Amino acid sequence: MYHGGPGMSPAAAGGRGGTARKVAPWILACGFLLCSSVLFLGAEGAIGVNYGMIANNLPTPDKVIAMYKANKISYVRLFHPDTTVLTALGGTGIGVVLGTFNEDLEHLASDESFAASWVASYVKPFAGTVTFRYITAGNEVIPGDLGTHVLPAIRNIETALKAAGVTGVPVTTAVATSVLGVSYPPSQATFSEASAPVMAPLVAYLSSKKAPLLVNVYPYFAYAAEPETVQLGYALLAGSSATSKIKVSSVTDGGLVYTNMFDAILDAAHAAVEKAGAQGLELVVSETGWPSGGGGTGATVENAAAYNNNVIRHAASGAGTPRRPGKAVETYLFAMFNENQKPEGTEQHFGLFQPDMSAVYPVDFAAGSY
């Protein structure tokens, strides 16, 4: 998903790769088989929402944060630092995931004084009133030219945080499923040849720091790419809804049974991390969502409502995934608003709310509250 500012390239701004979404080949293989077969750190299962700002008609930050509070949304993810938003978050108790611009990664990695300045500007002044959960050095830059800067940037930000007296804020990054190679079933997943040289030392480092890896999980794009082979109910987590009338088949991977693609994608990431030697590394779903319009296959209000409400119920259940049963998954829905300056099509229709603050469809956030 493109999260950059107007006039910025997706690579520079921290985007999901622009208008086209790469679909991991194993996801399509998983979908094909379906045709032939019938929190981390004490916040487990809680639901957050990404606060994207690629629009010229959004409410002011104080109104937006008031919406988070009114809807009992526990966490917010910011793709880049914004002091007005951070000020509005002060004293709310809402957990904040604060991102850097992708275009700043090289500078953060190579210049400790720049990292110190970044922390001094966007973290230190707010540390007493804002509940920072994580800081993310870049979004979806692995594999790619910027990927090699992620770990050095993490180290420099950590050093700057320590020097500023800010403790207890893990520094990590967010990756897309494009870090995975061709790997189905989920248990056989590994990092791709292009991403492994960066991901292996990264996950080892995160594990040593007890920091999570953030992963963006989008069953929608797999379904939209191959709707004739990927079962809609499987992509929508229909099996987690007691009222769903959509038939859902299952996929068996060894002794594990998958009834939805969300779990399969997440467990593929778990398997890849474990094969890279980072046993027990926590994964946080930093983005997931479904478009309610824009002309894409399956992009309807009904499907978007079903998906996001099912994700909330699934996360709140504490069931975890087949590979990590009983380990609830901290999950961030994408996104708070429909954003009119994103690329035309489905990219403009991932919002839970319209810019006038009316709901696109009902979402039961209370199902994800503890």
Q: What is the per-residue pLDDT across 232-262, written as a single tens digit (0 to 9) for each? A: 999 999 975 545 556 667 889 999 999 999 9
Catalytic hit among 158, 287, 330, 347: 287
Would you say residue 11 has pLDDT above 50?
no
Residue 81: partners with Cβ closer than 8 Å, 6 or more residues away: 98, 99, 100, 118, 121, 122
Q: What residues does 214 pair with on adjacent strands? A: 174, 284
pLDDT at position 358, please? 98
pLDDT at 369 over 80: no
Average pLDDT over residues 305-315: 96
Catalytic residue (one of 44, 103, 140, 282)? 140
Question: Are 211 and 134 contacting, i.e. CB atoms less than 8 angstroms apart?
Answer: yes
The CATH number given to 45-366 is 3.20.20.80
Is 153 a residue whose pLDDT tops 60? Answer: yes
Active site residue 44: no
Q: One-letter amino acid identity for 8?
A: M
**What does the alpha-carbon distance between residue 301 and residue 353 come to, in Å, rounded to a whole number?**
12
Tell me the pLDDT tens digit for each residue of 266-292.
Answer: 999 999 999 999 999 999 999 999 999
pLDDT(24) > 60: no
The pLDDT score that the predictor gives to residue 231 is 92
Residue 287: active-site member: yes
Exposure on the CB side of residue 4, measured as CA atoms within 13 A: 23
Is the confidence at residue 155, as pLDDT, over 50?
Answer: yes
* DSSP H or E run through 133: strand 131-139
pLDDT in tens, 168-195: 999 999 999 999 996 578 999 999 999 9
pLDDT tier at 3 (50, 70, 90 boundaries)?
low
State both tokens at 112. 């400790």
pLDDT, one tens digit per residue, over 69-85 is 999 999 999 999 999 99
The average confidence (pLDDT) of the chain is: 88
123-127, 251-255, 299-303: least confident range: 251-255
